[in-house]
Amino acid sequence: MAAVIFRSSLSFAARKSLAPNVSVLQRRASSFSALKVSQDRLWDHIHSTCEMSGATADGGLRRLSCDDNDKKVRDWFASEVKKLGCKYEVDAMGCQWAILPGENNKLPPIGIGSHLDSVQSGGKFDGPLGVLTGLEVAKVLKESGKKTYAPICVINWTNEEGARFPPACMASAVWAGEFDINAAHKCTDTADKKTTIGDELKRIGYAGKKECSYKVSPLSAHFEIHIEQGPRLENEGKDVGIVDSVQGMHWFNAGLRGFTRHADTTPMELRRDALAGAAKIVLEIQRLGRETGGMATVSLFKSQPQNFCNIPSAVDFSFSMQHPDKATLDGMKQQVASFVKKVAADDGLEIAEYDNIWSYDPNTFDKEAVACLEASAKDLGYNYKKLISHTAHDSLYTNMHVPTAMVFTPCRDGISHNPLEYASPENCSVGAQTLLGAVLRYDDLLRKKHSG
């Protein structure tokens, strides 16, 4: 696989240093908290969409990007937002855009987005909570008759997981101008190298004509709610998390080649065993994650040949490393690269592949958007925590062009990407309510800015 390197440029926040306008935020606090999301409706949507499109016997969700389940849930989402009178569009990456008009429709909408796709053996919350909260906010606004100043846009970003078609956050990266759409359309199914996401978007009827670009579909801001996927909020007994940054990441695909021959008869000193070499690298990557206080994982791992009596000659694997500090993260990258070279030299292996597939630097969310979330949580009386996101979400890419921030809900035992993934109805609605309050606050800031 050729290297497809995403590298995020400076975050929006770093480029446009907007100080939070706290006085404005606090002055009208009570009215921002008057509208209430429906905990029951949100919970029902999370479960009913799962049932209709991808529920698995073990209580999880399997809804791979552009598969038949993804089509089903997309069709349902389109029907729901059309019923609300939203302006509905699909872009060339299959992203669904549902715009509820505001008073000033010349302004780009405030986006509330996330994804409806899952990993192969995922849970009900990672992704759907975000899009369905956007839908819930739109429903509450519509039902209340309250008209926002800017339009509100609910977005279903295509292929956030990248589980079927790597890399992840594909459509938001295209929207941000960080990934060429033609290259994106050619990305292939991990289980079937002949199928591209471009083909599958056409097959399910979601290859829209509108360009997928922040220039064509601009936003005034982007808010996203997601389960935390880690144990910090739960461990500290917090109601909700306000995400103000994202740690950096390097993702590599690597391949080692040795030589296969008889396993029983080849003297140890003559071996070029790719599996034994790869095993050293797996442990070195684990060690680096532990010793730096970051994270590091070898995930995909395939060894060949699969024969009882042959020495393994080919191992292909993927690994990723995360750290909040750029210098430390880049140090990890260099240490792994040196270690892989040393193992190859020591063990007589060739490095057939060593590709940096995806990287992003540690990133800071927009201060004003974060402040809106914080004011909302405070006003609602929630016990909140500001925290860093350990992984990328579509918000990483929206943050390159528009003020962005995220809400995290606690999730049981910090588990995600697993059928056991769970956030309580209360956790979900507390997060949604926090997001709604922040959207109304941000909208109010826009009103002041543009109508004042």
Secondary structure E strands in 36-191: 87-90, 96-100, 110-114, 152-156, 188-189
Among 18, 275, 337, 352, binds its own copies (CB under 8 A): 275
Specify the residue, 22 or 283, whose C-beta has the smaller distance to its own copies.
Answer: 283
- The stretch near its own copies (CB under 8 A) out of 25-33, 200-208, 217-225, 317-325 is 317-325
| List 415, 422, 424, 425, residue binding its own copies (CB under 8 A) | 415
Report d(CA 386, CA 389) in Å as an integer: 10
213 is an interface residue for its own copies by CB under 8 A: no
Are the C-beta atoms of residues 255 and 352 closer than 8 Å to each other? Answer: yes
Please tell me whether residue 24 binds its own copies under the rule CB under 8 A: no
x/- binding map, residues 290-309, to its own copies, per CB under 8 A?
x----xxxxxxxxx-xxxxx
The three-point CA angle 46-49-55 to 5° equals 100
Should residue 117 be labelled a site residue for its own copies when binding is judged by CB under 8 A? no
Helix axes 128-144, 425-451, angle to 10 degrees: 60
Binding residue for its own copies, selected from 104, 190, 195, 335, defined by CB under 8 A: 190
Report d(CA 188, CA 170) in Å as an integer. 12
Residue closer to its own copies (CB basis): 33 or 416: 416
Decide if residue 4 touches its own copies (CB under 8 A). Answer: no
Are the C-beta atoms of residues 390 and 230 closer than 8 Å to each other? yes
User: Helix, strand, coil shares of the chain as percentages rounded to 5?
Assistant: 40, 25, 40
The kind and range of the H/E element at 16 are none
Query: Does the footprint of its own copies cover residue 276 (CB under 8 A)?
Result: yes
CB of 279 to its own copies, least distance (A): 4
Contact with its own copies (CB under 8 A): which of 145, 267, 381, 452? 267
Nearer to its own copies, 295 or 446 (CB): 295
Query: What phi, psi does 272 have (nearest 5°)?
Result: -125, 80
Please give the size of the binding site for its own copies, defined by CB under 8 A.
Answer: 67
The whole-angstrom separation of Cα 64 and Cα 433 is: 29
Range 121-140, binding its own copies (CB under 8 A): 121
Q: What string of DSSP letters covers 250-276?
A: EEEEEEEE-B--BTTTS-GGG-B-HHH
Only segment of 48-56, 100-108, 200-208, 416-424 that touches its own copies (CB under 8 A)? 416-424
Measuring CA to CA, which residue among 163, 136, 157 is closest to residue 54?
Answer: 163
Cβ closest to its own copies, residue 192 vs residue 264: 264
Q: Which residues make beta-bridge pairs with 255?
A: 316, 353
At which residue do the structure tokens 């974060």 appear?
A: 370
Applying CB under 8 A, which of residues 185, 390, 401, 447 lies at the interface with its own copies?
A: 390
- Identify which range of 43-51, 175-183, 198-206, 411-419 contacts its own copies by CB under 8 A: 411-419
Could you give the string, one character per residue 245-264, with x where binding to its own copies holds by CB under 8 A and - elsewhere?
----x-x-------xxxxxx
In whole angstroms, the minimum distance from the beta carbon of 378 to its own copies comes to 26
Torsion angle of the four alpha carbons 361, 365, 367, 372, in this order, in degrees rounded to the nearest 10 = -170
Binds its own copies (CB under 8 A): choice among 279, 337, 351, 352: 279
Is 280 one of the binding residues for its own copies (CB under 8 A)? yes
Q: Nearer Cβ to its own copies, position 243 or 373?
A: 243
Number of H helices, E strands in the chain: 15, 15
Contacts of 382 (CB under 8 A, 6+ apart): 239, 240, 430, 434
Most distant CA pair in the chain, distance = 84
Contact, 380 vs 200, CB < 8 A?
no
Q: Which stretch binds its own copies (CB under 8 A): 90-98, 142-150, 170-178, 408-416?
A: 408-416
Q: What x-and-dash track marks residues 331-370 binding its own copies by CB under 8 A?
A: ----------------------------------------
Select 29 or 275, whichever has its Cβ closest to its own copies: 275
Nearest distance from C-beta of residue 302 to its own copies, angstroms = 7
In the complex, which residues of this chain contact its own copies (CB under 8 A)?
119-121, 161-163, 166-168, 190, 228-231, 249, 251, 259-270, 273, 275-276, 278-280, 282-283, 286, 289-290, 295-303, 305-312, 318, 320, 322, 390-392, 414-418
